[in-house]
């Protein structure tokens, strides 16, 4: 008898039921501790939400309709009831768990390895009917809780408030391995499963770095002015902050893979970059920016935008908006990972590789005083870039972490005074708080939505606002509360884009709340004409 999948489902349920990170880790560690080998590997992956290792870049690719159809066959309920239940509860997995016949509670359930095997088989099957058959078979033998987490795994969202880092910590706790060693092994192997199995055997240090799987990105902390770093400028190197799409470029022989910040493989969207990098000598992993390129320099993000979301861009678009890769870090060269080396050393390696061509290299500059940094900032803006980045010369590359070793300095464009029209509960730390605000600008005497903001207020402010929003709720649509348009916010944003998503016809990129304008009435909020003016300013019209 193999180990039961019940252990995984129970741990996920336990993690979902507790708010504390430590308690979540404990639940997961408890499920992993008694396992070993392939069962342990599969359980660790399933706890992280997928039967696949990250390096496999695979998804089960099962649509909602396929799952619902299988659930209908197993529960006897029609698709409409299943859909309505899922909407009412807000989760298809939970709804299906509840709709299973009463005898399902007494089932002995599934085994880890068969769940792993069947879920993996899903991506190999093309036809929806074949996929539905596999799911139906699993659901017929699953207990309600197992069904719930099976379906959540299929829908690609466990929503138990745990991520890969939580599972890493659970592995460390279960097998007494140092957390850093677990994180390193997971990063290098691209497989939380293999990491768990090797941790149990005390062999984490045998895991070697492999290219071609997504790696977390190192992120920067913001500064608002040069004075903030006055005392420590000598520790940093400065670079322009390019306005493009962050990407990691993996390359070996003529094989190239580009991964986006969301860890998706975007290689096919940028064939000219793949081709140029593929022709460069050597094997490497670079961190950098995909930018629109024109007349030997970076072009605006607005032009690049037209290339985004095009899986296979047609030839005329490729010709009209060429793109290039500007590299600013080197994370592996040949067989050697460089994450733990200092920035200075990584930079030297990057310059060596850049000599082979295939991409552009960011220019590095020094600023000794805040005044010099301001000059660099102005010059960067004049070159059409967003601002400057500062990188601590002695810092290692912390994949997936935002720290103070990298700083970013960019100017918010302008701010807008907007009116809150709807609110929703947040996620994660802010689950249960009405923290997500949809907001609008004026258009004549109507209000038209232009965006949604989640950040900027303190928990205390959010709580106060929550009480107010509950009082002025005018209607509820599932999780969304429409509110009387009374509250004015000042929001900052990185830029404005045309968008069909919002009624206003525009969308703000990265909106954040600067403050609540208690001093302003909704009638004094900004207008869609003002938005258009700012947008025109950006276009240089």
* Residues noted as catalytic: 241
Instruction: Tell me the helices (H) and strands (E) count for the chain, helix number first.
Output: 19, 21
Would you give the end-to-end CA distance of the chain in angstroms? 70
The label of the residue with tokens 């004409």 reads: 529
Nearest-CB residue for ligand AMP:
246
Q: Which helix (H) or strand (E) holds 241?
A: strand 236-241
528 binds ligand AMP (CB under 6 A): no
220 binds ligand AMP (CB under 6 A): yes
Please choose, out of 24-32, 236-244, 249-257, 438-446, the segment that lies near ligand AMP by the rule CB under 6 A.
236-244
299 binds ligand AMP (CB under 6 A): no
361 binds ligand AMP (CB under 6 A): no
289 binds ligand AMP (CB under 6 A): yes
Q: Which is nearer to ligand AMP, 252 or 300 (CB)?
A: 300
Q: Which is nearer to ligand AMP, 188 or 289 (CB)?
A: 289
Taking the C-alpha atoms of residue 165 and residue 176, their distance in angstroms, rounded to an integer, is 16
Q: Tokens representing 275?
A: 């081709």
239 binds ligand AMP (CB under 6 A): yes
Q: Minimum distance between the CB of residue 338 and ligand AMP, rounded to whole angstroms?
A: 16
User: Which of these, 383, 389, 424, lies nearest to 408 by C-alpha position?
Assistant: 389
Please choose, out of 18-26, 146-154, 224-232, 237-245, the segment that lies near ligand AMP by the rule CB under 6 A.
237-245
Site string for ligand AMP, 245-284 (x = CB under 6 A): -x--------------------------------------
How do strand 323-333 and strand 360-361 relate by DSSP bridges?
A: parallel
Q: Tokens representing 228?
A: 């903030």
Q: Which is nearer to ligand AMP, 77 or 406 (CB)?
A: 406
Q: Minimum distance between the CB of residue 217 and ligand AMP, rounded to whole angstroms?
A: 6
The label of the residue with tokens 């005083």 reads: 369
- Could you tell me how many residues of this chain bind ligand AMP (CB under 6 A)? 11
C-alpha of 186 from chain center: 18
Q: Where are the alpha helices (DSSP H) in 280-369?
A: 301-305, 315-320, 343-354
Taking the C-alpha atoms of residue 178 and residue 162, their distance in angstroms, rounded to an integer, is 19
Q: Are 222 and 359 in contact (CB under 8 A)?
A: no
Q: Minimum distance between the CB of residue 298 and ligand AMP, rounded to whole angstroms?
A: 10
| Three-class SS state of 238 | strand
Contacts of 152 (CB under 8 A, 6+ apart): 12, 91, 92, 93, 158, 159
Q: Which is nearer to ligand AMP, 246 or 303 (CB)?
A: 246
C-alpha of 16 from chain center: 20
Q: Minimum distance between the CB of residue 362 and ligand AMP, rounded to whole angstroms?
A: 5
Q: Are 410 and 359 in contact (CB under 8 A)?
A: no
301 binds ligand AMP (CB under 6 A): no
Q: Which is nearer to ligand AMP, 107 or 261 (CB)?
A: 261
* Subset of 136-155 contacting ligand AMP (CB under 6 A): none
Contacts of 481 (CB under 8 A, 6+ apart): 422, 423, 424, 434, 469, 470, 473, 475
Please choose, out of 92-100, 241-249, 304-312, 411-419, the segment that lies near ligand AMP by the rule CB under 6 A.
241-249
Taking the C-alpha atoms of residue 147 and residue 157, their distance in angstroms, rounded to an integer, is 14
Q: Which is nearer to ligand AMP, 54 or 289 (CB)?
A: 289
Q: Which is nearer to ligand AMP, 162 or 380 (CB)?
A: 380
Site string for ligand AMP, 315-354 (x = CB under 6 A): -------------x--------------------------
Q: Tokens representing 333?
A: 């060269």
Please choose, out of 43-51, 235-243, 303-311, 368-376, the segment that lies near ligand AMP by the rule CB under 6 A.
235-243
Taking the C-alpha atoms of residue 422 and residue 480, their distance in angstroms, rounded to an integer, is 7
442 binds ligand AMP (CB under 6 A): no
Q: Minimum distance between the CB of residue 527 and ligand AMP, rounded to whole angstroms?
A: 27
Sole binder of ligand AMP in the list 5, 52, 242, 377 (CB under 6 A): 242
| Three-class SS state of 55 | helix
Taking the C-alpha atoms of residue 33 and residue 26, their distance in angstroms, rounded to an integer, is 10
Q: Are 509 and 496 in contact (CB under 8 A)?
A: yes
Q: Minimum distance between the CB of residue 245 and ligand AMP, rounded to whole angstroms?
A: 7
User: Which of these, 273, 272, 260, 266, lies nearest to 310 by C-alpha position?
Assistant: 266
* Subset of 402-431 contacting ligand AMP (CB under 6 A): 408, 410
Give the DSSP per-residue string, 190-215.
Answer: T-HHHHHHHHHTT-GGG----SSS--
Q: Minimum distance between the CB of residue 211 and ligand AMP, rounded to whole angstroms?
A: 21
Q: Which is nearer to ligand AMP, 330 or 516 (CB)?
A: 330
Q: Which is nearer to ligand AMP, 75 or 362 (CB)?
A: 362
Sole binder of ligand AMP in the list 298, 389, 405, 465 (CB under 6 A): 389
Binding site for ligand AMP (CB under 6 A): 220, 239, 241-242, 246, 289, 328, 362, 389, 408, 410
């Amino acid at each position: 008898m193999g180990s039961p999948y019940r252990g995984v489902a129970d741990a996920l349920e336990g993690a979902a039921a507790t708010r504390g990170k430590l308690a979540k880790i404990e639940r997961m560690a408890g499920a992993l501790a008694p396992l070993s080998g392939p069962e342990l590997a599969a359980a660790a992956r399933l706890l992280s939400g997928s039967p696949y290792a990250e390096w496999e870049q695979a998804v089960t690719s099962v649509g909602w309709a396929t799952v619902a159809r299988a659930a209908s066959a197993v529960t006897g309920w029609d698709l409409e009831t299943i859909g309505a239940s899922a909407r009412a509860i807000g989760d298809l997995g939970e709804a299906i768990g509840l709709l299973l016949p009463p005898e399902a509670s007494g089932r002995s359930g599934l085994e880890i390895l068969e769940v792993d095997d069947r879920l993996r088989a899903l991506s190999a099957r093309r036809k929806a009917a074949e996929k539905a058959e596999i799911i139906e078979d699993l659901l017929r033998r699953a207990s309600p809780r197992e069904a719930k987490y099976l379906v959540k795994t299929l829908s690609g969202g466990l929503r138990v408030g745990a991520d890969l880092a939580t599972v890493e910590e659970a592995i460390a706790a279960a097998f007494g391995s140092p957390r850093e060693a677990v994180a390193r092994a997971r990063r290098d192997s691209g497989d939380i499963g293999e990491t768990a199995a090797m941790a149990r055997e005390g062999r984490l240090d045998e895991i070697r770095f492999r290219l071609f799987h997504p790696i977390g990105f190192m992120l920067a902390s913001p500064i608002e002015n040069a004075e903030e770093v006055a005392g420590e400028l000598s520790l940093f190197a400065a670079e322009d902050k390019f306005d493009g799409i962050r990407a990691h470029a993996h390359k070996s022989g003529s094989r190239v893979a580009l991964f986006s910040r969301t860890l998706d493989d975007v290689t096919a969207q940028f064939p000219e970059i793949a081709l140029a990098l593929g022709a460069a000598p050597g094997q490497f992993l670079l961190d950098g920016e995909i930018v629109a390129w024109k007349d030997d320099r970076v072009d605006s993000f607005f032009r690049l935008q037209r290339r985004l979301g095009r899986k296979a861009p047609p030839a005329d678009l490729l010709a009209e908006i060429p793109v290039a890769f500007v590299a600013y870090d080197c994370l592996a060269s040949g067989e050697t990972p460089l994450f733990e080396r200092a920035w200075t050393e990584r930079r030297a390696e990057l310059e060596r590789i850049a000599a082979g061509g295939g991409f552009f290299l960011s220019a590095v500059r020094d600023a000794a005083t805040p005044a010099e940094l301001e000059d660099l900032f102005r010059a960067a803006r004049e070159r059409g870039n967003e601002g400057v980045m500062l990188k601590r010369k002695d810092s290692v590359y912390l994949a997936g972490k935002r720290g103070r070793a990298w700083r970013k300095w960019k100017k918010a464009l302008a701010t807008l005074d907007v009116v809150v029209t709807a609110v929703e509960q947040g996620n994660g730390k802010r689950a249960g708080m009405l923290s997500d605000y949809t907001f609008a600008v004026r258009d004549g005497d109507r209000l038209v939505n232009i965006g949604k903001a989640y950040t900027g207020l303190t928990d205390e402010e959010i709580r106060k606002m929550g009480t107010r929003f509950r009082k002025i709720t005018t209607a509820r649509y599932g999780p969304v509360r429409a509110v009387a348009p009374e509250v004015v916010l000042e929001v900052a944003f990185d830029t404005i884009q045309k968008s069909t998503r919002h009624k206003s016809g525009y969308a703000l990129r990265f909106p954040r709340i600067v403050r609540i304008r208690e001093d302003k009435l909704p009638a004094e909020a900004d207008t869609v004409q003002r938005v258009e003016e700012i947008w025109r300013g950006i276009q240089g019209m």
